Amino acid sequence: MAMADRNRSRNNSSAILQVRDLHVYYGQSHALQGVDLTLEAGVHAVVGRNGMGKTTLCNTIMGMLPARRGSIRFMGEEITGLPSYKIAGKGIGYTPQGRRLWPSLTVDEHLRLSDTGGGAWTIERIYDTFPRLAERRRNGGAQLSGGEQQMLAISRALLQDPRLLVLDEPTEGLAPVIVDQVEKLLADLAAESDVAILLIEQNIAVATSIAKDVAIMVNGKISRVMPAAQLRNDRALQERLLGVGRHSHEDVELPEWQAPTEDVAPPAENVSVAPENSPVTASTSRLVYVPPTRWSSATWAEGASSQEIKPEPKKPEAPVRPFDAKPEPVFKEPLTPLEALVGNEIYVVGTFDTKGAELTFIRDRIVDQGLRVRTVDLSTSGKPSSADVPPHLIAPYHRGGAASVFSGERGTSVRAMADAFENWITRQRGIGGIISAAGSGGTALATPAMRRLPIGVPKVMISTVASGDVGQYVGPSDIMMMYSVTDVQGLNQISRQVLANGANAVAGMVKRATGDREKRAQIATKPGLGLTMFGVTTKAIQQITAQLDDDYDCLVFHATGVGGQSMEKLADSGLLAAAIDLTTTEICDMMMGGVFAATEDRFGAFIRSRIPYVGSVGALDMVNFGARDTVPEKYKDRVFVEHNPQVTLMRTTPSENAKMGEWIAGRLNEMTGPVRFLIPEGGVSALDAPGQPFHDPAADKALFDAITARFQEGGNRRLIRVPHNINDPAFATAAVQALEEINPMKRNARYAAV
């Protein structure tokens, strides 16, 4: 929209935003149930616990979710049903929960991508308003502190010259000192500009300090709107309306309409009460009304015709804790890895139907240390759940839906729940750490999701299988496995001590991590550089790191199958600025059955993250086996080198190399970030040099030709031939030059020094 048109529209309505009778569904789940909201000017806050519908409201306003019924008017103009880009063009800026920055783009690149030109907000004004961003303009999104990320996310929205700024949880996961900075930033923004703010916030202190009015959101409805000062100064009112100020294991006093006692008081005016025959659950001495969910028959009564939603065959009723009236959207955009690192809430997960006493013991030990806890139940039995997040809120995250989890077949159900939990956890916010306790089945349930969390998020698995081979559970992640000694079944003098140690361990890690994040935000650190090495490429990596160590934090990974996975895990976690993937030998073992095999996802992290990538064919001349008598019979006539009594190396053939070359080139072609791939024409390892046992120019040529034939060169992707062995100094220099060409960080550091 042109600036003049936008200014005219601003004068046509006294209300900036009007939401009327808004209803939104996720499949069969009624998420927003008749929301009414009016924002005249200034700052209007919406507060409520997790799962109440706050983010759903934001996404619906921005056109990212469809409304089934209701109206959204901006500056008097109906915007319901418009696509997101048109809504943004009319003057609504959006800062989503979790910031959603690009890890590989610098601050300045973020701003230039967002700058439409000609508006009141310019990049120069952003730097004047946020001097810290000006200082960090050459730093990537993954190198910013949580507070700096939030400044950048808000700046990105301001460059659209919005009349209304929608902020979803801007202080989530930030340390108190950073929360104070963001709070001041928002207060100044509201006072000094003509931008109105719709603030979605769980931090009551922040919401009531900035906003004039506060709307309380409970189970998809705005239950009450009141002056912010009234809520700020009344602690009892905060506890009654929001349940704040209590630990997760305490019995929370709910609003009167939601928790009728045995001596039922008259309902407040215009407030819903539990209908007759509503499902109830026992809670100490009172009955608690459970709002309708997709699991209860009341779901079908409102907002859906028989043509839209048909009841499924009868399933076991799953209990729902108050405040957990709806599942989150199954296909919500997953977190970027950096977002998941910022948080201080510890997740205690497991099967509460069989391990409830043990998991509750862990939770209580963590709560005693003053930390926030969220319990997550992964049971598939259909029994009542006492967890903050019961199983029926996890199950819809399975691609086949909840029915795939609650199938009645134990083995199938457990596998499906593990998949659902893995999908669910990547969409959570503010995870500070995670802990579980279980036998082999529960360990298999919890650890796949733990592996999906970024490196650095504390992960503790107390397990009966922790004294054996735990590679299948840990994988390339940093899960700490603790042997339970006794079975995880009941509390006794041994299990209490082991469980307490696990709880204390994760609590200590989370406490320390919170402080360390703030220290890292204040101390400039070198960007992480991942490198892969094998014994036969050691000399090459040593020469490369000697040249780059002053500018990068060089992280070298031994290419033994899990080594490559670990490096790519860091890339997925946003902890690498670039990679020199010199030694790709794990592909040999993957294709020929060796013991140090990669997975089919090799190179996947670089495809996803788009970080600068320099690769090569290091040690693709060999397949790794154990002792000589373990080599498969079909390879008996091949060329071997016994590296030691436990490791036997087998030379690859021209046909095998051609096959590998085609596969590698195909994966490289999927990368959309900057790529340089080096071909060492003088040999791919120390054993492939002239005069060495694996020297085979014909085999090397087959590899190089296959890569060259399929490799798709472009401005961002180049193949570089180097007439040297991979361990020669000239090759190391070529690799460093290739990195400098595609990654500006080293050059920027030099310019800054000048």
Give the pLDDT confidence of 733-745 residue by residue, as tens digits: 999 999 999 986 5
- What pLDDT is stored for residue 462 in this prediction? 95
- What pLDDT is stored for residue 650 in this prediction? 96
Among 45-59, 363-377, 571-585, whose mean pLDDT is lowest? 45-59
Which tops the pLDDT comparison, 694 or 574?
694
The position carrying tokens 């920055």 is 101
CA distance 452 to 3: 45
The pTM is what? Answer: 0.47
Residue 82 burial by Cβ neighbours in a 10 Å radius (0-12, 13-18, 19+): middle
What is residue 527's three-state secondary structure? coil
In the chain, what are the domains?
3-97+164-242 (3.40.50.300), 340-521 (3.40.50.12020), 526-753 (3.40.50.12030)
- What pLDDT is stored for residue 507 in this prediction? 93
Structure tokens at 196: 């109105």
What is residue 457's three-state secondary structure? coil
* Overall average pLDDT of the 277-296 stretch: 31
- What pLDDT is stored for residue 175 in this prediction? 57
- What pLDDT is stored for residue 751 in this prediction? 36
Among 170-174, 336-340, 360-364, 605-609, whose mean pLDDT is lowest? 336-340
Which residues share a beta bridge with 198?
44, 166
Task: Examine the pLDDT at 668 and tell me if it is beyond 90.
Answer: yes
CA distance 200 to 206: 10
Q: What is the rounded radius of gyration, in angstroms, for the C-alpha atoms of the chain?
A: 29
3-state helix, strand, coil in the chain (%, to 5): 40, 20, 40
Structure tokens at 705: 């030709």
Do residues 168 and 55 lie in contact, with contact meaning Cβ atoms separated by under 8 Å? yes
- What pLDDT is stored for residue 707 in this prediction? 97
- What pLDDT is stored for residue 426 in this prediction? 83
Residue 176 pLDDT level (bands cut at 50, 70, 90): low
Task: Write the CB contacts of 181 (distance below 8 Å, at least 6 apart in sequence).
Answer: 147
CA distance 44 to 40: 9
Among 71-75, 259-263, 330-334, whose mean pLDDT is lowest? 259-263
Which tops the pLDDT comparison, 266 or 347?
347
| Mean of pLDDT over the chain | 79
- What pLDDT is stored for residue 555 in this prediction? 93
CA distance 417 to 390: 12
* Residue 80 backbone class (left: φ over 0; alpha: ψ -120 to 50; beta: rest): beta
Residue 250 pLDDT level (bands cut at 50, 70, 90): very low
Task: Examine the pLDDT at 324 and tell me if it is beyond 50.
Answer: no
Q: Which of 113, 707, 669 is nearest to 126 (CA)?
A: 113
* E strand or H helix that includes residue 517: helix 493-522
Do residues 37 and 60 lie in contact, with contact meaning Cβ atoms separated by under 8 Å? no
Instruction: Give the helix ranges, DSSP H, for 302-351.
Output: 337-341
Q: Which of 19, 23, 66, 57 is nearest to 38 (CA)?
A: 19
Do residues 292 and 324 lie in contact, with contact meaning Cβ atoms separated by under 8 Å? no
Task: Examine the pLDDT at 546 and tell me if it is beyond 80.
Answer: yes
Among 9-18, 35-44, 365-374, 442-451, whose mean pLDDT is lowest? 9-18
- What pLDDT is stored for residue 342 in this prediction? 54
Which tops the pLDDT comparison, 512 or 449?
449
CA dihedral sign of residues 229, 233, 234, 235: positive
Task: Examine the pLDDT at 2 and tell me if it is beyond 50.
Answer: no
Instruction: Give the helix ranges, DSSP H, for 201-321.
Output: 204-210, 228-232, 235-242
Mean pLDDT comparison of 139-148, 233-242, 510-519, highest-scoring range: 139-148
Percent of the chain with pLDDT over 70: 79
Q: What is 634-679 written as a DSSP string?
A: GGTTS-EEEEETTEEEEEPPHHHHHHHHHHHHHHHHH--S-EEEEE
Mean pLDDT comparison of 79-93, 481-495, 576-590, highest-scoring range: 576-590
Among 256-270, 652-666, 675-689, 730-744, whose mean pLDDT is lowest? 256-270
Residue 192 pLDDT level (bands cut at 50, 70, 90): low
CA distance 63 to 79: 8
* E strand or H helix that includes residue 476: none
CA distance 89 to 741: 37
* Overall average pLDDT of the 268-291 stretch: 32
Structure tokens at 103: 């890890």
Strand residues in 175-233 grouped as ranges (E) = 196-200, 213-218, 221-227
- What pLDDT is stored for residue 239 in this prediction? 67
Nearest 10 degrees: Cα torsion 396, 402, 404, 406 = 130
Task: Examine the pLDDT at 269 and tell me if it is beyond 70.
Answer: no
Residue 242 pLDDT level (bands cut at 50, 70, 90): low
CA distance 648 to 666: 29
Instruction: Determine how β-strand 372-377 pairs with β-strand 345-350.
Output: parallel
pLDDT tens-digit readout, 206-219: 888 888 888 888 88
* Overall average pLDDT of the 6-27 stretch: 70
Which tops the pLDDT comparison, 350 or 332?
350
Instruction: Determine how β-strand 717-722 pairs with β-strand 622-625.
Output: unpaired
Which residues share a beta bridge with 532?
557
Residue 133 pLDDT level (bands cut at 50, 70, 90): confident
CA distance 205 to 62: 26
- What pLDDT is stored for residue 745 in this prediction? 57
Task: Examine the pLDDT at 482 and tell me if it is beyond 90.
Answer: yes
Task: Write the CB contacts of 186 (distance below 8 Å, at least 6 apart in sequence).
Answer: 43, 167, 170, 197, 199, 210
CA distance 3 to 357: 62
- What pLDDT is stored for residue 348 in this prediction? 96
Which tops the pLDDT comparison, 569 or 327?
569
- What pLDDT is stored for residue 718 in this prediction? 96
- What pLDDT is stored for residue 519 in this prediction? 53
* Overall average pLDDT of the 279-289 stretch: 31
Task: Write the CB contacts of 525 (distance below 8 Å, at least 6 apart in sequence).
Answer: 143, 553
CA distance 392 to 464: 27
Mean pLDDT comparison of 524-528, 583-587, 597-601, highest-scoring range: 583-587
CA distance 520 to 512: 12
Residue 194 pLDDT level (bands cut at 50, 70, 90): confident
Task: Examine the pLDDT at 655 and tell me if it is beyond 90.
Answer: yes
CA distance 403 to 678: 49
Q: Which of 729, 600, 710, 581 is nearest to 658 (CA)?
A: 710
Instruction: Determine how β-strand 578-581 pairs with β-strand 553-558.
Output: unpaired
Which tops the pLDDT comparison, 156 or 557?
557
* Overall average pLDDT of the 484-497 stretch: 88
Task: Examine the pLDDT at 334 and tell me if it is beyond 70.
Answer: no
Task: Examine the pLDDT at 416 and tell me if it is beyond 80.
Answer: yes
Which tops the pLDDT comparison, 655 or 25?
655
How many helices (H) and strands (E) in the chain?
Answer: 27, 26
Query: What single-letter DSSP state applies at residue 615?
Result: E
Nearest 10 degrees: Cα torsion 72, 77, 78, 84 = -80
Task: Examine the pLDDT at 81 and tell me if it is beyond 50.
Answer: yes
Q: Which of 703, 694, 605 is nearest to 657 (CA)?
A: 703
